[in-house]
Chain A
Amino acid sequence: MELDWSGRRLNSLAAKMKKGNRQAAAAIYDELASKVFGFCFSRVGKRALAEDLTQDIFLKLLDKVQTFDEGKGNFAVWFWRLARNTVIDYYREKKSLSFSDFGEEIESVAYAEPTASLDAKLAYEGLNNFLNSLSGEEKQLFELRYIAELSYKEIAGITEKSEVLLRVNMSRLKKKLKDNLKK
């Protein structure tokens, strides 16, 4: 897979991080931390839980970075697979818990943020409702494209679907979103 500038930069940082370069590790964190949190927050809907998952993802990165082969793959794809799998693992574990452990309801993301503007809160609520109406695959595509800000090539690498199919799916998704916002 041919990499764009951002992809090449991340690959180069990952290679340096593998060799023990602290600055490269810090740069990777700075580049990805907010996106990872946004991705987790969007998935689980609870800030504290999203923080836990974000931490798990970065600690897994420390454990597994030596297995990333910069000669063969794209770090962004490798990393977001790790992130996505961590969230999937969380849901699998949750399923194995007893019914009583599900007592907490997902908090309202927008209203938990007192500093955000009312417009933004309403827009987010609208978006959240829209995302909840999507299938799992559609939601994942939205999150990887809009929140993780990945290219179609990278999303194709993570989801193992063709880039063309992803573009078609995203086009349909945007039309749905447009229709939803008109309501």
Chain B
Amino acid sequence: MALFFRDKLPVGIKKLLLPRKEFSANLRSVFLAGFERSSAAPLGSHWSLVGRILVASVVLFAATSGVAVYADSQNVSPQHPLYLMKRYSEFMQSFAASPEDQPALHLKFAARRLSEIESLEGEGEKEEPSIATAVKVTVTATPTAATGAISTAKPVNARVGKLYNDLNDEIRTSINNVGAEKQSSKRANICKSLDKFMNYGAPPVKKVVKEHPKMKNQFESQCAGYLESD
């Protein structure tokens, strides 16, 4: 009984005052289920938070898209602060385009990369003489025409190197998707445009084609029978 005098119940008596385990477990479940139900009210504020985030996301997306469309329509140069937005716009256009539209679209982007390489190389070699010949690549499958200027300059920095890689990717994507066009006349048009672009003499394109011999084979395989009429 000594424990009584340290303000503690003797263990034996304490045990008699314990609830049944089954009762404790059941009441615990009831209590926590009730708690979850009563906490459901603040969930409304969670939903309103989700709603606010959604609205903010839509507004942000709309604003970003607006800037991207502007950057794309202006065809800004790689040095321009909105260049990344232009590339984002290209990504979105490619994402939304049908497989038949992909070859012309990526050829258009390839022409853009070419002109960007030339403009950057021109910046880097302003003091050196450059051969500038205007080349027009007409993409008959789309209303867009790409214009490029030829430069003999080599990549002067990492940015130009990256653009060369992008140029390679765009040409490849265009070639790879030629087969998606089932109409013979349209397929012939895109093949002719690709042929002109790859063989017209723009040094950066020549360099890319030379470095990737399989690209030419792939082009010939995709466009076999569609170039003869020209």
Contact = CB atoms under 8 A, between A and B. Distances in A.
B16 A22 contact: no
Given A55-B27, A55-B30, A124-B13, A62 B35 contact: yes
Interface string B41-78: 01000000000000000000000000000000000000
Chain A at the B interface: SS class: helix
Chain B at the A interface: SS class: helix
Interface in A24-66: 25-26, 29-30, 33-34, 37-38, 41-42, 47, 50-51, 54-55, 58-59, 61-63
B182 interface: no
Interface of B: 1, 4-5, 7-10, 12-20, 23-24, 27-28, 30-32, 34-36, 38-39, 42
A139 interface: no
A110 B16 contact: yes
A62 B31 contact: yes
A181 B18 CA distance: 23
Contacts of B8: 146
29 contacts: A20-B39, A22-B32, A22-B39, A29-B28, A29-B31, A33-B27, A33-B28, A34-B17, A34-B19, A34-B24, A37-B18, A37-B19, A38-B17, A38-B18, A51-B19, A51-B23, A51-B27, A54-B23, A58-B30, A62-B31, A62-B34, A62-B38, A63-B38, A109-B16, A116-B12, A121-B16, A123-B1, A127-B13, A147-B17
Nearest to A55: B27
A38 B24 CA distance: 12
